[in-house]
Structure formats: C-alpha cells, structure tokens
Structure 1
Amino acid sequence: MAGITASTAPSVAAVVVAAGKGIRVGGGMPKQYRRVGGRSVLARTLAALAAHEGIARIQPVIAADAADFFAECLADLDPAHRAKVAPPVEGGTTRQRSVHAGLEALDGSGAPEVVLVHDAARPFVDAALIERAVAAGRDHRAAVPGVSVTDTIKRVEPLAPGIGRVVETPARDALRAVQTPQSFAYALLLDAHRSAAAAGLDAFTDDGALAEWAGLPVVVFEGDTANRKITQASDLIEADRAFSGADARTFPMTSPMTAYVTRLGTGFDVHAFTEGDHVWLGGVRIPADRGVLAHSDGDVALHALTDALLGAIADGDIGTHFPPSDEQWRGASSDRFLAHACKLVRERGGRIDHLDITVLAEAPRIGKHREEIRARIAEIAGVPLTAVSIKATTTEKLGFVGRAEGLAAQAAATVRLPDEESAQG
C-alpha cells in the first residue's frame, strides 16, 4: 500500500466464514474449532487477519449452535486482536448465504470500502498474502488469489459413480487453483449477493464465481501454496505439527489425539468491612453501606476464583503472583488477577471447563446482580456464560460473616490439561 496515507487508505474489513459443519475431519466438532498447536483453527485464522494493520474489523459468521465454541476461540486471542473481532452473526445453509449474512452485518455497522472474504479453515494465511489481497481489491474491485496447477487436469463427462469420459484436457498454464482471502469493493460484492438472493440462486461456492455471474471482471492475483485449507483429519495433524514447531513455547502442542486430564482447583478469600459505599464482586461494582479493607479492590469472588485456577495448574496462589507487599498492586482491579490465571492455563495447552463461586455474606445481596456478575466473569475468563456459576448464602448469623463483620467467597475451577505422562509414554 505504498503511497497510501492513513487518511486516504480505503477502510478494509474481513468476513470470516465459519458456519460449516466440517464433519469430514471427524472428532465430534467442526474442524474450525479443533485445536492445532494449542489454539483452535479459527482462532489462528482470526489472529492472522487481526494482526494486519490494514484490516479495521473482522466479521465472523458461525453456525447457530456454535456460540460456546466461538467463545473459546475468542479466549485464545490476544486482547488487541480480539478488539477487532465483531460479534458473530448466524450463517445460512450454504456458504453463499453465510457470506451474505456477514456482508449485511458489516453494512449495519458502517460499510467498509474493501472487504476480504476468507475461509475459517485456512489458518496459514500470512501477512504478505493479505497485503496482496487488500491491494488487489483496491485496484481491481474483484480479485481472487490463485496458484498454478501442477497436475494435468481433465474435464470429464460422468458415466457411472467414480467413472467419467474425458471431454477436454485444458492447458495447465491457463489454470489456477483459487484460494481465499478473496477481495472486493464492498458495495459491489454486497449488491451482487443481494441480486443472487433475489434471483433465488444460493449455490455459489466461491465469491469470485458469484462476482462473475453479476458481470464483474475478476482478476487473479498471486496466491500462496502454503495457504492450505484444512479438509481432512490428516490436514489437522500436519497443521498441529507445523504450529507446534512455530510457537510451541507460547502455545504447547495439543494434537487432535492429545490425552487430557481433568484438574479441579479450589480457592477461598475473605475481607473485613470498613468505611465505604460499595464492594466489588465478580468484577461488578455493587452499592453497599460499607466497603472492604484490602490492598487491591478487595473482590473476594475474583480472588477466590484466581486461586482456584492457580490451584488447578499447581502454580502457587494469588499472593505468589501478586504479592500484597508490592505497591503496584495497591488498589488494582482484580480482573487483572483472574485474566492472568486464565492466561497461565491456556499457555499450558489447557481449557477452562467450568467456574463456580459461592459468596458468603449477610449483605450486600447479590441476587439482582447475579447475571451481570456471570457475564463479567465470562468476559474476563474468555469462557461461555454457561461455564460460569455464582451463588450466595448467609451463615445463619454465625461467625464473622453472620455478625456482618466481613464477607467471603469460595470457588472451584475445572480445567483440562494435556496429560504429560501419556505424551511421554
């Protein structure tokens, strides 16, 4: 994009198509949510696009029943990358309908000038290919990446299942195998999709072909043979090896066949009341008659939950990582503690399955704040809302809690970690 300044460069967005079932790879879940090198295929694809400074936002399109899977993908992203990812929209029964849904969502949030359409199952896309796609879309308005064909291609006429008569042998130098990301002037592609939908056509498996149908001249720019699409189980195994070798220290190897062990960690925290007008519970500021005496913000729920996660991976406690003797943590927001513990779990190739908290207090009552607390914890931890539970109880006027001298919380966290003994055996 030489010669293009920040003020004159076209705005660029990307639609990532992730609504497919991906059943050919097996394993009980769509291929885009399988983990390669410690992160899901989709998370790697989103990260590659989000890392490109020219892409302002990314619109994922997912299946209606994939919200929990997608939440785990987001949790695998760096915060800066996650900020570029818009809330997902529900895809359709065909790829064309899914792309159309993503384009319409971008229109509703502020239309870009250039849009890239990329398959979720192509996590090997690199910055150079993305740069070529952005430039081609800007210069030609409809462009697809392609690589030269090395095998001889035959066009056949089917005779019976698995048998066909050769009709033509096209010259290989005129053939290209087309990939994604494909790049278009956004308004033109959206119009083409709307026209196809109005005509009752929904079987286009490639946006370049749909653009051709709409009368747009489509150019082919240089693709990348390394930009492979994950289709079969063997592709997942190869991708896992590739990504594990590339960044194993950050995201340890967890292949589709990796054995996991379930770990349960528990945590407990207590704080005495003092003067104040609010308490923090589960990352939510709750009005109260008194505050709590603490070095940080005194969020007993997040403190207990942090200790539970650290316990599950046998990595000390909250005081080990955030000592109260260190002044940098005075008044610190406890969401930083929980986020750190979650990061440690994932750096070990682990997955957080469930978080459960019980608050012990006579006051304040948390009933009306329950769902807000659940949502906040799910956001911090990067897990689905269904993986977070919070309850509250009193101690029937017994003990310091019963005397309203303070409040406490206990928590349990269930995580899955790669079974190192099985891997070594």
Structure 2
Amino acid sequence: MRQKSIAVLVVAAGKGERVSADGSTDPKQYRLVAGKPVLARTISAFLGVPNLTRLVTVIHADHAERYAALRLDDERLLPPVVGGASRQASVLEGLKALAPHKPDLVLIQDAARPFATLQVIGDVIAALDQYEGALPAIGVTDTIKRSADGRQVTVTEDRSQLFAAQTPQGFRFGQIFSAHMRASTIRRQFTDDAEIAEWAGLRVAIVAGDRDNIKITHPGDFTRAERIISGDQTMETRVGTGFDVHPFEPGDAVWLGGVRIPHKAKLKGHSDADVALHALTDAILGAIGEGDIGVHFPPSDMQWRGAASTVFLKHAGALVARAGGRIVNLDVTIVCEAPRIGPHVAAMQGIIAETLGIATTRIAIKATTSEQLGFTGREEGIVAMASASVEVPRVD
C-alpha cells in the first residue's frame, strides 16, 4: 500500500506584539531561545517527519528578510507565503501554496510552538487513518469557572470533558482545504483549524499532547522555553558499538539496512540475516546497557526464523524511548566486495529513519572493501560495524 505523503504548514504571519513588553524588537517567532530562533526550532522539529514531502511557512509581509536570515536549507522547503489579515486567512494562503503538490495529509503548526515532539506528531498522523482530523490536547486539571461579567461565578464547568488544544493539527488535505475555502465565504472567525473541520462536519480525534509543547505568547514563556531546553543538561550521552558477520549461502538477494539487494547469493542466518541492522541494533542496545540481539530475540526461538530485522531495530528504539532517551546519531560501516552498497544508501537511511522515528540526517551508512583480503575479500560473507550515540537521563 502506498505511503501517504505529508505536508506541513507553519503559521508565522503574526507580528508577535504580545511579547514585546520585555523590550525586544523582534517578533516572537524570530527571537532566540538558547541561541536559535523560535521559528527555526519549529521548522526543524518537522523536518524529521517520515514521508514529509513539502513544508511551507506563512509569514508577515514585513518579515521576508527575517525569514531569509534563518538560512534554512532543505529541498522540501517551499518559498514562504505572505499571510492574510487573520490566522484563518493565513492558513488558507498556505493551503493554496500546497495544493499544486497534492499531499495526502497536512499538519498545521503554530510557529510559536517549537517543542512538538516526533511522538506527538506521529500520534496525530496515525489518527488520520481513522479520522478526517486530529489534534494533540492536554486534559484540563484546574477547576474551570464560567463568569458572564468577570466578577461573579455563573457556573463551574465539568473539567473531565475539557481539553486544551495544541498543534500540530492534522487533516486529510483535500477535506481541510475545502473546509477552509467554504469558511472564508462566511462572516465568522474560527479559533483554530480543528474548529473549521468540526463546522464542516469532519470527525476530529484527540491524541495525547505534551505539557512542554507550549505556545510562546508572553515574555515569561521565553524563560520557560529556556528551562525546557536546559533540561537537556540532566541528560547524558552514551555510545554503543555493534559488530556482526554473516556468511553467504545459495540465493539471489541479500538484505542490508532493510533493503533487498539482488545478488548472486544470500546471507545465512536465523532471521533475514541483515548484518547491517543486526550490528546497528546491538549498538543501540549497548548504549543503554540492554545486552544484545540474542538476549531479546534468541536464535533458538523459531518465531524469529526469517523475521525482518527491522523488528529487532524497532524494539531497540522502543527501549531507548522507554528509558526516556533519544537517539542522537547512528553510524554503520558495511564491509564487502559485492554487492555495491552506494546506490542503496538513501533507501537504507529512509527505512532506518522510519523504523526509529528519527531524521535521516542522523544516520550515516558507509561501505568499503577489504581489498580482496580475508573471507570478505574472498566474497564468503559480509561484515558490518556500527556505533550509536544515545542521550538518556543521567544516573548519578
């Protein structure tokens, strides 16, 4: 089944005047947080999304030079679009810019939310398999009072049914584009894109939000944003290594890095014998002190016979997430005389990135020969070596 293409629309057309009280002359989306502009952080958070095909930013007419100064460089970035008089109008301009590219799904993100995680983004995307729209939200924990005049309580709301909406809000592209076009013809301003979807009769799902996925609105929010980033100082970096060898046996293709490569032989092993993913899985497991593949997937267990090694890699990634960590970068070296690895590197990076939910820019895959020396030189098998750098909470 064809994977759905995903576009991202970042709304950055506001002047950001509500945070100017602290003396800054920069709109909030261009101000620095820990040395990096808020908008650059927001965009970077989405460039690691698997199947992302296009990202467009809607900016204020006066901010073209500020946007250019971000020096963002990615082939998936479209030229910025000038927004309208309201957020709703700005989103519509962004949707019009994306329409010629015909994405299946679109994620609409506030520029001032720089901390959207791949977990939250992925949950929104997954919900679109069953719903026409989805948004992350946090259940309200404070007691909510309603007042008609701001002085006397009228009623206490049932907070069990109340949720604070976040972004990204995701939709099936054609449906939200049509809903926005219809909404632009009536004299009503909607508070967010999900409300437009609801008005248009689309079903909108709620997925778990993240309390750090804040929208920077007031001067004090920058202080909180700095604290969120400085929280990384409670993390420590660990490095693991992996090494694996598999011999050849009669066959017509090998599995390497999750890619089936035609060859005059195949690799011998209990699973699909993907030597590259085995070394990589061991490197990740080693970085978090979780043993090796054999501990988690014993070769004596017949359920793993012929299994795709992406299953092993995904398990290792899940253990990192469970430990509260994140994968920083991965490096794999494949040693063989044949087949040629170079033409398949991009595909390998894509599969590894999708399996682990990380950006392809965090994955390096290299190939070399042993100059016809040893068993690899005699084309009797393939060797793979890997290293993994992982950040996990510090344990003193």
Per the TM alignment, residue 370 of structure 1 is displaced from its structure 2 partner at its CA by 2.0
Q: Does 1:190 align with 2:181?
A: yes
Paired position in structure 2 for 1:91 = 57
Amino acid at match of 2:46: F
Paired position in structure 2 for 1:300 = 275
Residues 9-408 of structure 1: pairs in structure 2 closer than 5 A:
18-20=10-12, 22=29, 26-28=33-35, 68-71=44-47, 74=49, 89-94=55-60, 95=87, 96-98=89-91, 100-102=93-95, 105=98, 109=102, 119=110, 121=113, 148=146, 187=178, 189-190=180-181, 207=190, 230-231=215-216, 256=231, 258-408=233-383
Per the TM alignment, residue 305 of structure 1 is displaced from its structure 2 partner at its CA by 0.5
Whether the aligned pair in 1 keeps the contact of 2:7 and 2:98 (CA below 8 Å) is no
What's the CA shift string for 1:234-256, capped at 9, x where partnerless? 669999x9xxxxxxxxxxx9983
Paired position in structure 2 for 1:139 = none
- Pair 193,87 (structure 1): closer, same or farther in 2 beyond 3 Å: farther
What's the CA shift string for 1:9-34, capped at 9, x where partnerless? xxxxx998645565679334577xxx
- Pair 194,282 (structure 1): closer, same or farther in 2 beyond 3 Å: farther
Amino acid at match of 1:90: V
Per the TM alignment, residue 365 of structure 1 is displaced from its structure 2 partner at its CA by 1.2
Amino acid at match of 1:336: V
C-alpha separation in 2, matches of 1:236 and 1:327:
54
C-alpha separation in 1, matches of 2:387 and 2:181:
48
Per the TM alignment, residue 190 of structure 1 is displaced from its structure 2 partner at its CA by 2.1
Whether the aligned pair in 2 keeps the contact of 1:269 and 1:409 (CA below 8 Å) is yes
Amino acid at match of 2:286: G
Whether the aligned pair in 2 keeps the contact of 1:237 and 1:255 (CA below 8 Å) is no
What's the CA shift string for 1:64-123, capped at 9, x where partnerless? 885542255x58xxxxxxxxx9755312114553453246647964899xx997758499
**TM-score, scaled relative to structure 1:** 0.55
Amino acid at match of 1:189: H
**TM-score, scaled relative to structure 2:** 0.58
What's the CA shift string for 1:156-185, capped at 9, x where partnerless? xxxxxxxxxxxxxxx999xxxxx8689998
Whether the aligned pair in 2 keeps the contact of 1:283 and 1:302 (CA below 8 Å) is yes
- Pair 187,418 (structure 1): closer, same or farther in 2 beyond 3 Å: same
C-alpha separation in 2, matches of 1:111 and 1:235:
34
C-alpha separation in 2, matches of 1:111 and 1:417:
35
Whether the aligned pair in 1 keeps the contact of 2:254 and 2:274 (CA below 8 Å) is yes
C-alpha separation in 1, matches of 2:312 and 2:390:
17
C-alpha separation in 1, matches of 2:342 and 2:266:
19
Aligned residues: 293
Structure 2 residue runs without a partner (length 5+): 1-5, 13-27, 61-86, 134-143, 155-163, 194-198, 200-210
Per the TM alignment, residue 379 of structure 1 is displaced from its structure 2 partner at its CA by 2.0
Per the TM alignment, residue 376 of structure 1 is displaced from its structure 2 partner at its CA by 2.1
Deviates more, 1:265-274 or 1:399-408: 399-408
C-alpha separation in 2, matches of 1:230 and 1:310:
35
C-alpha separation in 2, matches of 1:263 and 1:111:
38
Whether the aligned pair in 2 keeps the contact of 1:71 and 1:382 (CA below 8 Å) is no
C-alpha separation in 1, matches of 2:285 and 2:34:
29
Paired position in structure 2 for 1:162 = none
What's the CA shift string for 1:17-67, capped at 9, x where partnerless? 645565679334577xxxxxxxxxxxxxxxxxxxxxxxxxxxxxxx68855
Amino acid at match of 2:284: L
Paired residue secondary structure (2:300): coil
Amino acid at match of 2:254: V
- Greater CA radius of gyration, 1 or 2? 1
Whether the aligned pair in 2 keeps the contact of 1:71 and 1:383 (CA below 8 Å) is no
Per the TM alignment, residue 353 of structure 1 is displaced from its structure 2 partner at its CA by 1.3
Amino acid at match of 1:190: M
Whether the aligned pair in 1 keeps the contact of 2:7 and 2:52 (CA below 8 Å) is no
- Pair 291,368 (structure 1): closer, same or farther in 2 beyond 3 Å: same
Amino acid at match of 1:97: S
Structure 1 residue runs without a partner (length 5+): 1-13, 32-62, 76-84, 136-145, 154-170, 174-178, 197-203, 211-215, 217-226, 242-252
C-alpha separation in 1, matches of 2:337 and 2:7:
49
% identity of equivalent residues:
40
